[in-house]
Amino acid sequence: MSEPLFNKVALIGIGLIGSSLARVIRRENLANTIIVNTRREETLNRARELNLGDDYYSSAAEAVRDADLVIVCVPVGACGQVAAEIAPALKPGAIVTDVGSTKRSVIQQMAPVLPDTIEFVPGHPIAGTEHSGPDAGFAELFRNRWCILTPIGRASDEAVQKLSRFWEACGSRVDTMDPDHHDKVLAIVSHLPHIIAYNIVGTADDLETVTQSEVIKYSASGFRDFTRLAASDPTMWRDICLHNKDAILEMLARFSEDLSALQRAIRWGDGETLFNLFTRTRAIRRSIIDAGQDVAAPDFGRQVVQEKSAAPADAEG
């Protein structure tokens, strides 16, 4: 077996993403030692029960001591506080990265606090589910998914390359991107769909004519897909909304305009406009499937991964 990429990896936050990383790091032998940190004793104990790491600390500063790679896996609103806590304890030359769903705000919170000796490379795995906490993670989460790195010119090329190799070893494809561009792209492909889901499920819940039981009873199709997204972690999504405010508001404005046009087409019986739009959007769905990107639903994703890993070409040895 080849040498691990890192000697000591510290995971700050051990929810869905942190615990998925712990599992894949262990499975792929990417580090000699995995350090787990989270604030709450209860979560730390659960991580211990699940045997996610080698050592466990409730202090983030203690957790990062001597670590070569520190991965911050907390809600984006907590990244600045974590950076301030770990800054004095970091080993010079260590790579510090994060997994936050927004990038400009995480950079603004973390970069000024981290010492110049630190290789700071912000990141975002485009892989997740509506579940949270240490029990929710699984080692295959990142397989065949993109991980976007948004280096800001203060890390060496070697550090960026090493982190890319790490994500590739977790099963991901890696892209680098400007942080503001990242925030705009993610606003439309991830943040808006979640906001729309929260809104439609909230509207259905508020409708006096649709009783709770009818919402549940008849939620077999489209509405059900929205309820999955709308079950996502409230703290995480509150933070995303507050920390990618400008890009989300810009996309929401575009969305509202387009929705008004759709509303007008329905009101005036403009079937041609409706048909043309629905034809265009159907082609997008098909191109996503053709590109092999249709693994968003977690259980379906796991099933695909299992089927694939049973195939000889994907065997891990």
Ligand X SMILES: O=C(O)C(=O)Cc1ccc(O)cc1
Ligand Y SMILES: NC(=O)C1=CN([C@@H]2O[C@H](COP(=O)(O)OP(=O)(O)OC[C@H]3O[C@@H](n4cnc5c(N)ncnc54)[C@H](O)[C@@H]3O)[C@@H](O)[C@H]2O)C=CC1
Interface ranges with ligand Y (CB under 6 A): 13-18, 38-40, 43, 73-76, 78, 81-82, 99-101, 125, 128-129, 132-133, 233, 236, 240
Q: Which does 172 bind (CB under 5 to 8 A by kind): ligand Y, ligand X, none?
A: none
Q: Which two tokens stand for residue 239?
A: 């933070």
Smallest separation, CB 162 to ligand X (Å): 23
* CB-nearer residue toward ligand X: 128 or 151: 128
The yes or no reply on residue 273 touching ligand X (CB under 6 A) is no
In terms of Cα–Cα distance, which of 117, 115, 93, 97 is closest to 107?
Answer: 97
The yes or no reply on residue 126 touching ligand X (CB under 6 A) is yes
Smallest separation, CB 67 to ligand Y (Å): 16
Interstrand relation of 95-98 and 69-72 (parallel, antiparallel or unpaired)? parallel
How far is it, in rounded angstroms, from Cα 127 to Cα 70? 19
The yes or no reply on residue 128 touching ligand X (CB under 6 A) is yes
3-state helix, strand, coil in the chain (%, to 5): 55, 10, 35
The yes or no reply on residue 129 touching ligand X (CB under 6 A) is yes
* CB-nearer residue toward ligand X: 38 or 232: 232
The yes or no reply on residue 190 touching ligand X (CB under 6 A) is yes
CB–CB of 119/95 below 8 Å? Answer: yes
Smallest separation, CB 297 to ligand X (Å): 7
Q: How many CB atoms lie within 10 A of CB 151?
A: 21
Smallest separation, CB 17 to ligand Y (Å): 4
CA 89 from chain center: how many Å?
A: 26
End-to-end CA distance of the chain: 10
* CB-nearer residue toward ligand X: 178 or 214: 178
How far is it, in rounded angstroms, from Cα 193 to Cα 260? 17
Q: Which residues bind ligand X (CB under 6 A)?
A: 101, 126, 128-130, 190, 229, 296
